[in-house]
Amino acid sequence: MEVENLKSYRLLLLGAEWQIEAFRAQKNSSDVFHFVSQVSYRTVLSSLQDDPQRQFYSELEKVDVLFLIYEKHYSEEFIKMISEIKHKIEVVLIHHDEDINLKVVINEWNVKKIISFEDFSKISVAMLAPIFKKINAKHIKNKIIKDISVQKKQLDELILKQEVIVNEKTQDISHSTKEEDKKLKKERVILRFIKDMALVNSFEDFLRVIKNEFKVFHEIGEILLFQKKTDKLFKVLFSKNYFQWKEIPFSHALSEESLNDKIIHSLISIQLANSLSRPFGKLKLSQLSNESFIGFENQLSDIHKVDFEEFLHDRIEVIHMAHEKLFLEITMVQFSNRWEKTFDLIDEPIAIIDENYQVLRSNSFFEKNLHSLKCYEMFAQRTSVCLGCPLKETIESNSAQKRDLNITKSNFELYSYPMKSTFSLRSVVHNYIDRTQEKKLYSRLLQTEKMLSIGRLAGHLSHELNNPLTGIRSMVQYLKTQVAAETTAAKDLVEIEKATERCFKVMNNFIEFSNPKNTNFVAMNLDEIIQKTIPLLKVPLRSHQLDLQLASQNVEILADPSLVQHVIFNLIQNATQAMKEKGTILVSTDVSKKKISLKISDSGEGIALENQSLIFEPFFTTKPEGEGTGLGLSIVKSVVENSQGSIRFEPNHPQGATFIIEWPIYENTNH
């Protein structure tokens, strides 16, 4: 702050007369002193005693900074004065090395700064800068308060003027209250009519609401709705004891131009009277659309006709809108019904499904479980998404997809199409084409062709191999008679003979598989066959644990025991080969619902999902080349089905495989 700026502040030095004189003697030692006024304690006390109106207080409160020279003894009047003005001015205490009661001067006098007389004689603007900063803030605050006071006064004047204007307008409004009330009542009645018309859902309700609205006119008779079929043939909805439609021919065409033609109105009234078999009054027509009109039968006088025209004019737009809305709704419902009927007549399952697998729409051939919302629950009776479902891919690629799905023992060809959905989520259309019978027929055709090929191959192999094998076996049998029984050569000959027997057996199985013939079917106990077969598998079973649970001792099946033994042998051997490490094989039988079931289960790696549908196919094998022919499970399936049985595969969780064979229980009718 510059020294010249001190002119804007009121600075006052208060002390004893001798102290004031000392100050004056040193006045030139500081530039601040030129702006400080002086007054003695005696002058102040005299002014306080002679100032009942407190004018001196008012003047003193205008001071910005009071420099107070400390005295040990002050009069009560002086102390009271300091206490009253301490919050309105800034007090700086000057002392001559006296002991000062700091608690009093700071707390009770609100002193902001204490300096010695020597420092005061050298006081500068910089030393007083914090005090002047606080004074500036106080000035700004006082100015804001003053401005607010002025604005408040102006606002009070404005409010007063507005109150005068409001009072004047209130007087004007009071003169038109009756007219406004009448208008408001009229609007409320029309609003109620709009609400009633918004709720109609048939043309009968449409006329009923209009009839109720116009009942204030007792001269109004029948209210009719005309719908054009041809220029001179209309369907007319009217109410006798109940609403009904009737086709009525007119001699003149109804159009917008003929609405005000009284002659045409009279002719129509005559034709309506003939059709309704009663006298018919005058007719007031109003057009609702190009194809529809509304008519009011009436006996209105000229006076009441004006009121009716005004009443109708206020409501005709509402009637037009309600009629158009109702017409569109009914048209949409009819269109929707036709679409749904067409949709349901398609004998293939079709559904609209969103990206969360929720079924939005579907036809009757899709809805198998109406209590579910997910497509896989509703159609496939699954708890998870169908294997191979293309929905996500269809949405992401925005292109049609095709998949073959196995659902509830049926084979479907699924076509998945993306669609521009009106729903919040993206959706697709799924069309399922049942190819089950077609696949079965195709599989049978392939199987027949395979069997023919295998038959031809078996016949050729039998012819080419049986003759050499017969010669080998004959030669072996002869050589056995020429060597000693316990020699190495004799043992080798026995093994060669066994090998030829196995070759004959393989060839016979091959021929039997390709061309099944009557086998030796007898009543047999399944548990006994299992117990006879297990010892033959001692070597492959020695690394695994066998769990036998046999429960069909008292029932029999009709089958060839040797072939059933072959089936059991083959399945258990496959189970041991599927377990690379030590595992468990469960062999169990059970009797239920006139069937005997055989389960053979292992804890191996299981069968890959992509191979599960191929395991019973001839020549299919997952074993390395040279280790399997692919005929094992095919022969098993053939043997089981030839004995009226069935076989199926089920995966174990978390790993392993189970083969389940079911035969009907044999009941001997001769007993």
Q: What is the pLDDT of residues 159-193, one digit of tens each?
A: 888 888 888 887 777 777 777 888 888 889 889 99
Residue 44 tokens, joined: 């102040």
pLDDT of residue 240: 64
Cβ-count burial 79-102 (b if 16+ within 10 Å, e if not): eebbeebbeebbbbbbbeeeeeee
Please give the Cα distance from 250 to 317 (Å, whole number): 27
DSSP string covering 28-44, please?
A: GG-GGGGGEEEEEHHHH
Q: In 3D, which of 482, 376, 468 has the Cα closest to residue 430?
A: 376
Residue 358 and residue 392 in contact, taking contact as beta carbons nearer than 8 Å: no
| Domain residue extents for the chain | 9-145, 203-337, 346-434, 440-514, 522-664
What 3-state DSSP class applies to 145? helix
Residue with tokens 């190495």: 488
Q: What is the pTM of this model?
A: 0.38
Q: Which CATH architecture has domain 9-145?
A: 3-Layer(aba) Sandwich (3.40)
pLDDT of residue 389: 92
Distance CA 449, CA 62 (A): 124
Q: In Å, how far from its chain's centre is CA 179?
A: 54
CA-angle at 198, arms to 235 and 228, nearest 5°: 15
Q: What is the pLDDT of residue 620?
A: 64
Q: Is 364 helix (H, G, I), strand (E, B) or coil?
A: coil
Q: How far is CA 362 from the centre of its chain?
A: 20
Collapsed DSSP state (helix, strand, coil) of residue 406: strand
- Count Cβ atoms below 10 Å from residue 582 Cβ, excluding itself: 9
Compute mean pLDDT per 10 residues along the chain, 671 residues long, and list them.
Answer: 66 80 67 75 75 67 79 72 76 77 75 78 75 80 84 87 83 75 87 90 90 90 88 81 81 74 82 85 87 89 89 91 89 82 81 89 75 82 88 91 85 88 76 82 66 70 78 84 84 84 72 61 91 85 90 89 87 87 92 91 84 73 56 79 89 86 83 50
The answer to whether 282 and 297 are in contact (CB under 8 A) is yes
The pLDDT value recorded for residue 516 is: 55
Tokens for 22, please give them: 């000392």
Task: Tell me which H or E stretch contains 72.
Answer: none
Beta strands in 466-543 (DSSP E): 522-524
Q: Which residues of 265-295 are buried (b: 16+ CB within 10 A; e: fewer)?
A: beebbebbeebbeeebbbbbbebbeeebbbb
Q: Which element (helix H / strand E) includes 418?
A: strand 410-419
Instruction: Please give the structure tokens belonging to residue 164.
Output: 């005068």
- Say yes or no: domain 440-514 is CATH 1.20.58: no
Residue 658, classed as helix, strand or coil, is strand
Which residues, including other chains, have CB under 8 Å from residue 239's CB and lie 6 or more apart? 207, 211, 222, 223
DSSP designation for 537: G
Architecture of domain 346-434 in this structure: 2-Layer Sandwich (3.30)
Looking at residue 557, its pLDDT comes to 92
Query: What's the alpha-carbon Rg for the chain, to the nearest Å?
Result: 57
- Separation of alpha carbons 563 and 519, rounded Å: 9
What is the Cα–Cα distance from 356 to 350, expressed in whole angstroms? 17
Q: What is the pLDDT of residue 664?
A: 93
Taking the C-alpha atoms of residue 361 and residue 354, their distance in angstroms, rounded to an integer, is 10
For 128, the 3-state DSSP assignment is coil
Burial of 306 (0-12, 13-18, 19+ CB in 10 A): exposed
Q: How many residues does the chain have?
A: 671
Q: Please give the CATH superfamily to which domain 522-664 belongs.
A: Histidine kinase-like ATPase, C-terminal domain (3.30.565.10)
CA dist 10 and 26 (Å) reads 20
- Phi, psi for 229 (deg, rounded to 5): -105, -45
* 180 to 176, 193, 216, 311, 590: CA distances (angstroms): 6, 20, 22, 18, 92
Q: Quick one: which of 55, 103, 107 has its CA closest to 83?
A: 107
What local confidence, expressed as pLDDT, does residue 528 receive? 92
What single-letter DSSP state applies at residue 107?
I
